[in-house]
Amino acid sequence: MQTKIVITGGPGTGKSTVIKELVKRNFMCMPEISREITQNARQNGTEQLFLTKPLLFSELLLEGRVNQYIEAEKKNSAKVFFDRGIPDVHAYMNYIGVDYPKTYINTSKFYRYNYIFLMAPWEEIYITDNERYENFEQALAIHNHLEKTYAELNYDIIAVPTGTIEERTDFILAFIK
């Protein structure tokens, strides 16, 4: 049985950096796909798809994350790490206050993960860029929506402490052993 592990949290919390460290340590990881969707939309003339057409963005993201989940099951790997999980999609929709189909929650209930690691906003490492437009206060609000969403889906949420990339990665690996 494959162990599926989500590393989630608001923007700029170090998720992708920890995923890169896990890849370096030869673990199977599924990357964050929202940047790819944002960049594709930008190439097609929409600067911030999430802000201008949040439901379309979220539908593309949900489909992409489900595909990642299915793809992960085909991998010959005992553990697979995900840079964000399927429930992140409706957590973000709750954050911006946009209604979405009930299928989002049903999809999150159907595709289950074994571990949820939540990385809290950390002001010392927080930066914005072309795809990350949220300020630190917004990152805190998103964090709260993510925590609430996963809790409502009956997940035990493991808070990842601050520290070096190696310390944070070691914490996650020690927890799942």
Q: Give the span between the Cα atoms of 29 and 49, in whole angstroms.
A: 26
Confidence category of residue 130, pLDDT binned at 50, 70, 90: low
Q: How far is Cα of residue 166 from the mean position of the Cα atoms in its chain?
A: 20
Query: Average pLDDT, stretch 21-40?
Result: 89
CATH class of 3-176: alpha beta
Residue 11 CA to residue 122 CA, distance in Å, equals 10
Across 72-92, b (16+ Cβ under 10 Å) vs e yields beeeeeebbbbbbbbbbbbbb
The domain locations on the chain are 3-176
pLDDT at residue 55, as a whole number: 83
CA–CA gap between residue 18 and residue 6 (Å, rounded): 11
Q: What percent of the chain has pLDDT over 90?
A: 64
